[in-house]
Amino acid sequence: MNILPRKLKISWLIVHLLLIAYSITVVYPAILVIFNSFKSTQEIFSSPYGLPKSFSFINYVNAWNEANFGVYFKNSVFVTLVSVFLVLLVASLAAYVLARFKFKGSFVIFFVFLLGLMLPIRLAIIPLYILVRDLGLLDTYTGLILVYVASGLSFSIFILYTFFKSIPEEMVEAAKIEGANSFQIYYKIMLPLVRPALSTVAIFNFMSFWNDFFFPYILIKDEALYTVPVGITSFFGEYTTDWSLLFAGLALSIIPVLIVFFVMSKQFIEGLTAGAIK
């Protein structure tokens, strides 16, 4: 009688130990970056794993003002927020139509979107670069934002389509009886019901766009338009590197991701676990 509970306890103990070990491997580098951001370059080399002698914010001030990190940070915030908003808008509209309306070719359109999950957009970087160049969108926010929106649509539509599909048809019929049109049903009924999915899509895309180095490096050559991942590379000198400014910049770049996750963590977890518990 006690064998099964004992095995379950052992299994749960192993799972928790693995999760703790994984958490340490994820959190420790971030803590190390934060501690080193308060040190001078000399102190980083002499004591890379120790606590800083003093918690001075001079490195952050210098990184923000003298190393142009403030410009890179503002560029990333603008590009990322606009891209996430457009992905949520376009993906939610497309998923709503594909999930709730039946018309000729709807499955083909949905399948085309799913192809984006199987074929990474980076494989098409040469024709993509030529397209952006011919449209005159190189070295512009617009070109980078459009590429981000295109890269995020497949995953976002796939997630939102599943949630829209799971909403009972009776709710839609009741809204139609009350006189609501299709857009009102989408805006006032559907979107509030799929809020966990919207949060999941927003967080995944925010992290992807914020941390992306590849597309800004290819499509942006004007340093005034650099985003954080590309801008940080300017901290590396040809012969020397100011590691104190580099770690301060890395610490600053972590803050928006943490803020977004903590603000939307409840909805994010609900989105991931939806359907797992009845």
Tens of pLDDT along 197-239?
898 899 999 999 999 999 999 999 998 999 999 998 887 765 5
Place of tokens 């409840």: 266
Strands (E), 8-162: none
Confirm whether 26 is domain-assigned: no
Confirm whether 50 is domain-assigned: no
Confirm whether 220 is domain-assigned: yes
Q: What residues are paired with 241 via a beta bridge?
A: 236
* Res 211: pLDDT: 93
Share of the chain above pLDDT 90, in %: 37
Confirm whether 19 is domain-assigned: no
Task: Decide if 90 contacts 153 (C-beta within 8 A).
Answer: yes
Collapsing DSSP to helix, strand or coil, 1 comes out as coil
Number of domains in the chain: 1
Domain that holds residue 174: 70-273
DSSP string, 65-93: HTT-HHHHHHHHHHHHHHHHHHHHHHHHH
> What CA–CA distance (Å, rounded) separates 150 from 99?
20
Confirm whether 44 is domain-assigned: no
Confirm whether 269 is domain-assigned: yes
* Res 236: pLDDT: 77
What are the backbone angles phi and psi of residue 236, rounded to the nearest 5°? -85, 115
> What CA–CA distance (Å, rounded) separates 118 from 237?
38
Confirm whether 62 is domain-assigned: no
The one-digit pLDDT tens for each residue of the chain (278 residues) are 455 567 777 888 888 899 899 988 988 988 999 999 999 888 988 888 888 888 888 989 988 887 788 999 999 999 999 999 999 999 999 999 998 888 888 888 888 888 888 888 888 899 999 999 999 999 999 999 999 999 999 999 999 998 898 888 888 888 888 888 888 888 888 888 888 889 889 999 999 999 999 999 999 999 899 999 999 888 776 556 778 888 998 899 988 888 888 887 776 666 555 544 44
Tokens representing 154? 């497949």
The string of pLDDT tens digits covering residues 176-206 is 888 888 888 888 888 888 888 898 899 999 9
**Taking the model in full, what pTM does it have?**
0.85
Residue 112, domain CATH: 1.10.3720.10
* Res 2: pLDDT: 53
Confirm whether 30 is domain-assigned: no
